[in-house]
């Protein structure tokens, strides 16, 4: 439905800018994003524009500001007259302070603007903004821009200060990009593209903002406009690579190919001598990796046959082989020493070939490290780290440490990770690294992985630490982490309610919450609109979002909507087993409920056809089933009371369990205990419970688990009179083991609280050290600015 508002959202406003002309220095420039020069007006873009109008106005957006040049608006504007500081007073009292950019001066200026008691002309204000930009005080630039919201009519007077206004928007755009305020970036960029000259870096920010705001269609249309008007939008292959990398992160191969073909047609065909057509191997490798990821060998062959690709001789270079090798590492099975030995030989071979190419060697180290971490090949991870440390031409910087630390995050090794970073951060001899946002997110994610039962406490402590200590003002990029904390939510897990962090991107997470809200209120029409948003935006469906949406639909008995979403996914992805199992569970559960009446609910083995259906699925997919698949299938067997098949499946799952994965252990033990309880096998139940208590790798125990285990004990107690296998001695032993399990839960919780305290003590030390360093650099730059200003004045 179209929004009935007196203003348009930034995305639509940008589209309108593509359809109008503007005046700059008494000259006119006409262009359109949708029609090449010379084409007629018959091209109808109304449908596409309507498709963009549905997007909601984000809460962090400024309201659309009304231009004083719009007809009929002058009479409606009722701003009080602004008290502008005169040039004489500015030069006498403010200029030196603005050059120094002291924070007390910034607070005074902000107070005056907000209270509408003091304002500065744009050229004077730019002195302060330039200084803030120079010392990287992006948060203060953001605050000043937000404070100017009510004074937009004054700022927008492009006829008065056209050059100054251009610099103003450029600085604000760069600041908001660094802060990750992409909604605001899009709003500012809609003003920036009106300017007579545009910079390549700012154009890149615009493209990135559209993608980060989940507005792929607008990004594509803007890219068309860029290629149609190279004089207006002067981008090079560097900006093209940036755009490809952003799309690669979204795993959107179709859109990557779309912009590649446009680039080849507009920039390369007939212009073979142009430098922008000489694509580097890193850009081509982005496409190569996605073709392999999606198993599109034919598409890869066609891509490599393009003249612009063949000209680079990419296929004959070792980078082609390295890309193939690194992608193959994701397919290697764990615990196979022969494969690990072969991998080591291949790594040594490529390092030797790249001996005279240090830059490519560095990229190889990084790519292979990421692949080995994903494949849990610890021996080869150590082997590669050793090679990097011995390589005099490659510096092991923070990027490598981020790749290595992913191993700790994956296995929840919080104590090891804190110790690892402590040795690097506080040991200058080891080559200290600077704190990045990714480090903070990694540490937080590792804590959540290690102690999921404390997810709420860990996240709240992080928010308190980052907000109460004013770290945000000096290190404003931390706002990105704070935004991610909203993804920690309560879910029903193992018979209880626990908090966990969603793995969805923030845009998809917020969309899923809206979808779930509409489903819960039985507003199916609105839920469908939310689910189909990506189609309206021309975006490839995001698999994880649709998987969650399908699961929600099936849980709410909405198979028709789930089928629509499933069909959308099948057009873009190979349907994985976990989704097939989800549908299998719904199908069998539905048939089971309709097969037996309420009076027969306690009957045993009444549904042989359903058992056969499940057994056939297992037979067909046995070679592809992993631990989680077997566990899900065993749960389906329990659902239809086929406990014999459930026992077989849980044993298969046990053979595939990752012994370092606490989540897998808890799922295994709880499922196995459930089967033993339903089969009334107290001895087996006791053996499993005792094994869990003695298993040091299976430390994770939730309150829901304890509640469930106690319920199983009561089940045995109720059947003690009619089951000879259940006696008081056995029940007493089970009760003792339950007490041990409770102690294990309490100990694990206190261990988590202790490790979390160590984590935040370390993180606070690192932040304090980083801020101290930043303030030192800031003071040095301030002195340089002041000296330069006095020199210019002299």
pLDDT digits (tens, 9 = 90+) for 163-179: 888 899 999 999 999 99
Contacts of 83 (CB under 8 A, 6+ apart): 116, 117, 118, 119
Higher-confidence position of 470 and 35 = 470
Which residue in 584, 585, 586, 572 sits closest to 544, CA to CA? 572
Q: What pLDDT, on a 0 to 100 scale, did the predictor assign at position 342?
A: 82
Return the top range by mean pLDDT from 15-29, 47-61, 406-420.
406-420
Nearest to 377 by CA among 385, 442, 623: 385
Lowest mean pLDDT segment, chosen from 183-187, 764-768, 780-784: 780-784
Q: Cβ(586)–Cβ(580) under 8 Å?
A: no
DSSP-derived secondary structure letter, 119: B
Backbone angles phi, psi at 481, to 5 degrees: -65, -45
Is residue 96 one of the residues assigned to a domain?
yes
Structure tokens at 711: 């319920």
In-domain check, residue 411: no
Higher pLDDT, 595 or 551: 551
Q: What pLDDT does 571 receive?
A: 84
Q: Centre a 10 Å sphere on the Cβ of residue 69 and count the other Cβ atoms it contains.
A: 12
Per the CB < 8 A criterion, the answer to whether 267 and 274 are in contact is yes
Mean pLDDT to the nearest integer, 308-326: 93
Tokens of 587: 């199908």
Report the distance separating Cα 262 and Cα 77, nearest Å: 44
List the single range of 47-56, 522-531, 635-644, 722-731 with lowest mean pLDDT: 47-56
Domain presence at residue 141: yes
Is 125 inside a domain boundary? yes
Give every CB contact of residue 664 below 8 A, 6+ residues apart in sequence: 627, 628, 657, 658
Does residue 720 carry a pLDDT above 90?
no
Count CB neighbours of 471 within 10 A. Answer: 19
- Answer for the pair 101, 137: CB distance below 8 angstroms, yes or no: yes
Which has the higher per-residue pLDDT, 600 or 681? 681
Distance (Å, rounded) from C-alpha 756 to C-alpha 462?
Answer: 10
Closest CA to 666 of 614, 627, 713: 627
* Residue 189 resides in a domain: yes
Residue 340 has pLDDT above 50, yes or no: yes
Taking 70 as the threshold, does the pLDDT of residue 77 lie above it? no
- Which residues make Cβ contacts (< 8 Å) with residue 666, sequence separation at least 6? 494, 698, 700, 701, 702, 705
- Helix (H) or strand (E) run with residue 211 in it: helix 200-212
pLDDT for 162: 72
| Average pLDDT for the chain | 83
Task: Please say if the pLDDT value at position 45 is more than 50.
Answer: no
What pLDDT score does 597 carry? 58
Closest-CA residue to 210 (of 409, 507, 481, 493): 507
pLDDT at 688: 95
Cβ 741 vs Cβ 707: under 8 Å = no
Beta-carbon-side half-sphere exposure of residue 704 (alpha carbons within 13 Å): 15
Give the number of other Cβ atoms within 10 Å of residue 407's Cβ.
20
Q: Which residue has the tokens 């592809």?
A: 624
Statement: residue 150 has pLDDT above 70 = no
Q: DSSP string spanning 527-557?
A: HHHHHTHHHHHTPPPPHHHHHHHHHHHHHTT
Residue 486 lies in a domain: no
H-assigned helices in 229-357: 237-249, 253-263, 281-293, 297-304, 307-310, 318-329, 337-353
Query: Quick check: is 193 in a domain?
Result: yes
How buried is 675 (Cβ within 10 angstroms: 0-12 exposed, 13-18 middle, 19+ buried)? buried
Pick 492 or 114 by higher pLDDT.
Answer: 114
Condensed to tens digits (0 to 9), the pLDDT of residues 367-412 reads 999 999 988 888 999 999 999 999 999 998 889 999 999 999 999 9
CA distance 16 to 761: 51
Any residues with CB less than 8 A from the CB of 116 and at least 6 apart, and which? 80, 82, 83, 150
Most confident of 160-164, 166-170, 467-471: 166-170
List the single range of 187-191, 330-334, 357-361 with lowest mean pLDDT.
Answer: 330-334
Question: Does any domain span residue 712?
Answer: no
Q: What is the pLDDT of residue 574?
A: 84
For residue 333, the model assigns a pLDDT of 52
Q: How many residues does the chain have?
A: 794
This prediction has a pTM of 0.83
Find the domain containing 142 and state its range.
Answer: 82-197
Q: Name the nearest CA neighbour of 410 among 663, 627, 756, 626.
A: 663
Query: Using an 8 Å Cβ cutoff, are 606 and 600 in contact?
Result: yes
Region of residue 624 (left: phi > 0; alpha: psi -120 to 50; beta: else): alpha
3-state SS assignment for residue 19: coil
Q: What's the confidence (pLDDT) of residue 431?
A: 56
Question: Mind spelling out the 3-state secondary structure of 346-363?
Answer: HHHHHHHHCCCCHHHHHH
Tokens for 641, please give them: 């009371």
The total of structural domains in the chain comes to: 1
Strand 488-493 versus strand 496-501 pairing type: antiparallel
């Amino acid at each position: 439905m179209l929004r009935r508002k007196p203003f348009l959202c930034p995305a639509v406003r940008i589209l309108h800018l593509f359809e109008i002309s503007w005046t700059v220095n008494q000259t006119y420039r006409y262009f359109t994003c949708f029609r090449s020069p010379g084409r007629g007006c018959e091209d109808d873009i109304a449908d596409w524009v309507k498709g963009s109008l549905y997007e909601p106005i984000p809460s962090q957006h400024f309201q659309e500001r009304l231009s004083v040049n719009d007809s009929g608006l002058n009479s409606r504007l009722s701003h009080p007259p602004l008290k502008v500081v005169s040039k004489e007073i500015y030069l006498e009292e403010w200029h030196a302070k603005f050059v120094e950019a002291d924070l007390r001066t910034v607070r005074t200026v902000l107070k005056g603007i907000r209270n509408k008691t003091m304002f500065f002309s744009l050229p004077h204000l730019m002195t302060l903004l330039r200084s803030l930009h120079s010392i990287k005080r992006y948060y203060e630039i953001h605050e000043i821009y937000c404070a100017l919201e009510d004074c937009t009519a004054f700022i927008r007077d492009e006829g008065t200060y056209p050059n100054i206004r251009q610099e103003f928007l450029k600085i604000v755009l760069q600041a908001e990009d660094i802060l990750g305020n992409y909604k605001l970036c899009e709003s500012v960029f809609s003003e920036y593209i009106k300017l007579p000259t545009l910079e390549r870096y700012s154009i890149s920010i615009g493209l990135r903002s559209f993608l980060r705001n989940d507005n792929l269609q607008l990004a594509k249309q803007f890219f068309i406009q860029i290629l149609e008007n190279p004089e207006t939008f002067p981008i090079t292959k560097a900006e093209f690579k940036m755009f490809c990398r952003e799309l690669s992160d979204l795993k959107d191969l179709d859109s990557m190919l779309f912009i590649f073909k446009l680039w080849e047609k507009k920039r390369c065909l007939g212009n073979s001598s142009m430098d922008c057509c000489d694509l580097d191997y890193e850009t081509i490798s982005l496409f190569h990796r996605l073709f392999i990821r999606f198993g599109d060998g034919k598409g890869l062959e066609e891509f490599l046959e393009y003249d612009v690709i063949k000209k680079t001789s990419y296929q004959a270079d070792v980078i082609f082989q390295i890309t193939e090798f690194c992608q193959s590492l994701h397919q290697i099975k764990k615990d196979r020493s022969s494969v690990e030995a072969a991998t080591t030989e291949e790594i040594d071979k490529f390092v030797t070939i790249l001996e005279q190419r240090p830059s490519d060697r560095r990229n190889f180290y990084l790519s292979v490290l990421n692949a080995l971490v994903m494949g849990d090949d610890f021996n080869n991870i150590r082997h590669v780290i050793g090679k990097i440390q011995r390589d005099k031409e490659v510096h092991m910087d923070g990027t490598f440490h981020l790749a290595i630390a992913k191993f700790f995050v994956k296995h929840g090794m919080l104590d090891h990770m804190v110790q690892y970073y402590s040795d690097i951060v506080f040991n200058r001899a080891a080559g200290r690294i600077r704190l990045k946002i990714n480090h903070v997110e990694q540490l937080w994610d590792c804590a959540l992985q290690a102690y999921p039962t404390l997810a709420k406490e860990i996240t709240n402590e992080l928010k308190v630490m980052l907000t109460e200590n004013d770290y945000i003002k000096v290190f404003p990029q931390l706002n990105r982490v704070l935004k991610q904390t909203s993804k920690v939510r309560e879910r029903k897990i193992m018979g209880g309610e626990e908090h966990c962090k969603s793995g969805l991107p923030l845009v998809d997470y917020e969309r899923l919450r809206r979808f779930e809200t509409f489903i819960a209120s039985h507003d199916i029409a609105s839920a469908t609109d939310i689910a189909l948003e990506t189609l309206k935006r021309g975006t490839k469906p995001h698999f994880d979002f649709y998987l969650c949406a399908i699961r929600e639909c099936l849980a709410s008995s909405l198979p028709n909507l789930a089928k629509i979403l499933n069909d959308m996914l099948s057009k873009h992805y190979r349907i994985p087993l976990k989704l097939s199992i989800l549908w299998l569970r719904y199908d069998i559960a539905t048939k089971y409920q309709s097969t037996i009446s309420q009076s027969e609910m306690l009957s045993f083995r009444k549904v042989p056809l359903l058992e056969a259906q499940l057994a056939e699925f297992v037979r067909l997919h046995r070679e592809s089933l992993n631990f989680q698949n077997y566990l899900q299938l065993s749960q389906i067997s329990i659902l239809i009371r086929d406990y014999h098949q459930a026992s077989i499946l849980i044993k298969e799952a046990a053979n595939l369990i990752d012994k370092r994965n606490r989540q897998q252990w808890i799922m295994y033990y709880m499922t196995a205990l459930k089967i033993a309880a339903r089969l009334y096998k107290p001895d087996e139940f006791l053996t499993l419970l005792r094994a869990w208590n003695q298993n040091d790798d299976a430390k994770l125990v939730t309150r829901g688990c304890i509640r469930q285990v106690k319920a199983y004990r009561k089940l045995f107690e109720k059947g003690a009179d009619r089951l000879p296998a259940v006696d008081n001695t056995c029940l007493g032993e089970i009760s003792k083991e339950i007490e041990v399990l409770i102690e294990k839960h309490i100990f694990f919780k206190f261990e988590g609280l202790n490790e979390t305290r160590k984590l935040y003590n370390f993180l606070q030390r690192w932040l304090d050290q980083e801020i101290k360093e930043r303030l030192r650099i800031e003071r040095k730059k301030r002195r340089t600015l002041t000296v330069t200003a006095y020199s210019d004045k002299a």
